[in-house]
Structures are given as C-alpha cells and as structure tokens.
Amino acid sequence: MLEHAAEEAILGLEDAGIDFVSGLPDGWQRNLHELVEQNDSFHYAPACNEGVAFSMCAGAWLGGKKSALIMENSGIRVASEYIARISLGTGVPVTLLCSYRGDVGETEHWGIPHGIVAEPLLQALRVKYLVVRHVEDLRKSIVRAKRLSEASLHPVAVLISGDCVWDDERAN
Amino acid sequence: MTLERFDWLGFLASKIPDDALVMSTYIGAVSFEWAHHTEEHPRSAHLGQMGDVVGLALGLALALPHRKVVCLDGDGSVLMELGQLVAMGQHCPSNLVVFVVDNGVYESIGWGANGRRTTATSHTSNLASIAASCGVPHTADVTTQDQLSEETDLAFSRDVCSFINVRTAPGPSHVEPRRTDGIEDKYRFVRYVEQLEDLWITGVPPQDIGLMKG
C-alpha cells in the first residue's frame, strides 16, 4: 500500500472508532500493520491465520471493542469458515480491510485466483463491500463500512486496490 | 484414567468466580451440561463452534484484561483449528484459562457400526503438549480429580494464561438439550457484559438518539 494510502487508512480506522485490530500482514498492507502496531489507539493482536484472527475480533467485540481485521483477500477464504459460523450464525460485526489482489492492474500471477474468488465469496457470506481504488475515498469508506457493520451486526469489507496500492510507473 | 464429564463440569461450575466470564461451545453435551450446572447464568456465552471457541475466548480476554475469562471447548474443536493455540501462546493474556473436555471422540456425531469415531487425542496427539510448545505458560493434562482440584485452584487463584486438558470419559449428555440458538445467547451475554462493565456493545441508531432531543 502506498504510504499516503496507509496513512489515510489509519485515519479511517481512528474515525470509525476501531480499537482492536487483528489480521495477518501481506505484501500490500504490511506498512498498515506497522502503523497500527505503533498507534496507541489500537490493541493490535495479529494471528497466524485469518480464521483465528476473525474469531479473536469477534470475541473482542463481545467484550466491548470495535474490531477490524486487516488481511489479503486470500484470507477471506480462510476466514470464511468463521464468518459463516459466528456472524451468519449469531450476528457479530467485524470491519474487514482487504488487499484486492487480482484486481485490474495486478502484476503477479499468484494474485489472480484471489481476485476471482473474493467478491463471489463475500456475496455468498452476505458481506457487503466497497472496492476502493482512489486514496481520497479510503478514509470515509472505512468509516462507512464500520457503520454498516455495527448497524447490521455483520461484517462489512473494504477491498483496497488501484491508486491505493500501485504507482503505475513503477509497476509497469 | 478419565473423569466423568457431568461430574467434573459440575465441580468446575462450583469453583468458578462469580465475576468471571465464560466462553463455551454451544452445541453438544458440554454446553447442555454446563448450562444445567450454572442454571443458564448469563455470564456464559454459549457461542463457540468447531474451531473458534478458543479464538473467541482469546479476543474476549484481550478486550477485558481485568476480567477472568474461562473457555470451555472440546478436543475435536481444538484440533480443527490449532492456530488458536499458536495465537494463545503468542498473546497469552494472564486472565485466560482454557479447559478442554478431551473425550477422545467425536461425541456429537453419534455411534457408527464400529463404535465411536475417535479423535487424534485418542492416538497420537496431546493437546496440552501442543499448547505448551505454542508458548502457553501453564499447561496440564489432567486425568484424576485430585489433579483437577489442584489445577482449578491454581486457575482461579492467580493470573497465568493456562490450558488445562481434562481427559474425559465419552458418553451422552445427562441433561436435555438447550432450547436457545446463538442469536439469543449472544444478546443474553452482551447485555450481561454491558451491565457488568458499564458499557454499550450494540449501538443505538443516531436517528433514534435524535428523537430524544427537545
């Protein structure tokens, strides 16, 4: 993620009142994880996979925290078991910040399957989502995602791509 | 040696501090019998399912570090997501104690032609050893009531992240199934925590708040 995008994401998390963050660092959001870890506004509790991270976020919400899970979109597949069991089953909100690997502009062949699966899987899980490709939209999109998540008592996702992650001159 | 589940859950229920919170599995004999012993006290969240009970308890313990959090899970569930033990060892909140009903079988699926289907803890896996190797500071593999008494006293008299595996005899529930689902259980638990901690977990819509203004 480009540095100014990561900074906007932090502002979005703060504006949204997020105070508990779990997840698994990925290539794009590595710097966002670092900023979260260094920021006293958040309790940062990373996990070894996104399924465990989702369970931790849900448990933290039950204890009064406002939770976000930061992960690559490949992690949606791993977390889907617990999104289904916990959120479809009982109604627990978690805001999901996902790198949108495999989106238009992808440079890496291994990112393609992540891009194919992510949106249909979110739809199957009844998780509403925004695809954010412009940095100026990132902050408010995180706030809106968290707002809907709390109102619907279900996860809502922000898929991050485009100008937030690519400097096209360097990518080409 | 093994302990009888109904008996040892009753013993644990008698020892649990009044101000503790419990994250329990919500399907099967453990949930039914725990609810029976605790008279459906709202401090217990019967919300966990296969592979997520320890993770939920871990999040709850990290969110409320001043509050003792007790987790009740089964061996099949822990085995399904061993990454939970990695995370438990990684963060090891001192207020978290996990008790595992390790009966060595997949009890809830019933009997097949060759008897019960066994889990890996009946053969090659030792959950307490796995938890220890993940960095959980205190672990135990309990096979007797004396050990359970000792471990329960330790768990509730000090603040050390602990994983207590209790070797348990298989067998059907001694009590009727519970009648609530996860949604009702969630609201019951959330309202209890809100009152206990003096906080709001579920929000109030801003438009509704606006209706209160003159």
Would you state the pLDDT for residue A172? 57
Mutate to test the interface with A, among B50, B52, B189 (most CBs of A within 10 A): B52
Contact A60 B186 (CB under 8 A): no
Q: How far is A41 from chain B (nearest CA, A)?
A: 13
Would you state the pLDDT for residue A21? 98
Would you state the pLDDT for residue B27? 79
d(CA A152, CA A92): 9
Contact A47 B183 (CB under 8 A): no
Mean per-residue pLDDT over chain A, rounded: 97
| DSSP assignment of chain B | --EEHHHHHHHHHHHS-TT-EEEEE-SSHHHHHHHHHTTT-TTEEEEE-TTTHHHHHHHHHHH-TTS-EEEEEEHHHHHHTTHHHHHHHHH--TTEEEEEEE-SB-GGG-EETTEEPBPGGGTT--HHHHHHHTT-SEEEEE-SHHHHHHHHHHHHHS---EEEEEEEE----SSPPP---HHHHHHHHHHHHHHHHT--SS---HHHHHTT--
Q: What is the mean pLDDT of residues A97-115?
A: 96
Least confident of A8-17, A163-172, B171-180, B186-195: A163-172
CB-based contact A50:A23 (threshold 8 Å): yes
Q: What is the mean pLDDT of residues A104-114?
A: 95
Amino acid identity for residue B138 in this structure: H
Residue from the list A62, A82, A91 with its beta carbon closest to the beta carbon of B52: A82
Contact A61 B84 (CB under 8 A): no
Q: Does B212 touch chain A (CB under 8 A)?
A: no
d(CA A152, CA A150): 6
Contact B52 A55 (CB under 8 A): yes
Q: What is the mean pLDDT of residues B190-197?
A: 98
Burial profile B69-81: b = 16 or more Cβ within 10 angstroms, e = fewer: bbbbbbbbbbbbb
Would you state the pLDDT for residue A171? 66
Would you state the pLDDT for residue A53? 98
Would you state the pLDDT for residue B204? 78
Q: What is the mean pLDDT of residues B64-74?
A: 98
d(CA B141, CA A34): 38
Question: Model confidence over A3-52: pLDDT tens digits?
Answer: 999 999 999 999 999 999 999 999 999 999 999 999 999 999 999 999 99
d(CA B199, CA B212): 20
Would you state the pLDDT for residue B108? 83
Question: Model confidence over A129-152: pLDDT tens digits?
Answer: 999 999 999 999 999 999 999 999
Would you state the pLDDT for residue B153? 97
Q: How far is A133 from chain B (nearest CA, A)?
A: 29
Mutate to test the interface with B, among A44, A56, A86, A147 (most CBs of B within 10 A): A56
Q: Which tokens in the block code for residue B153? A: 């006293």
Residue from the list A46, A51, A55 with its beta carbon closest to the beta carbon of B59: A55
Residues from chain A that touch B197, judged by Cβ atoms under 8 A, are: 63-64
pTM: 0.96
pLDDT score of B10 more than 80 = yes
Contacts with B95 (C-beta within 8 Å, 6 or more apart), sequence order: B61, B64, B65, B66, B67, B68, B69, B159, B161
- Least Cα distance to A71 among A109, A112, A36 occurs for A36
Contact A63 B60 (CB under 8 A): yes
Q: Does B45 touch chain A (CB under 8 A)?
A: yes
Contact B45 A63 (CB under 8 A): no
Question: Model confidence over B13-63: pLDDT tens digits?
Answer: 999 999 999 999 987 999 999 999 999 999 999 999 999 999 999 999 999
% chain B with pLDDT above 90: 87
In degrees rounded to 5, what are phi and psi of residue A100? -100, 70
Q: Which residue of B has its CA nearest to A54?
A: B55
- B128 or B108: which leads in pLDDT: B128
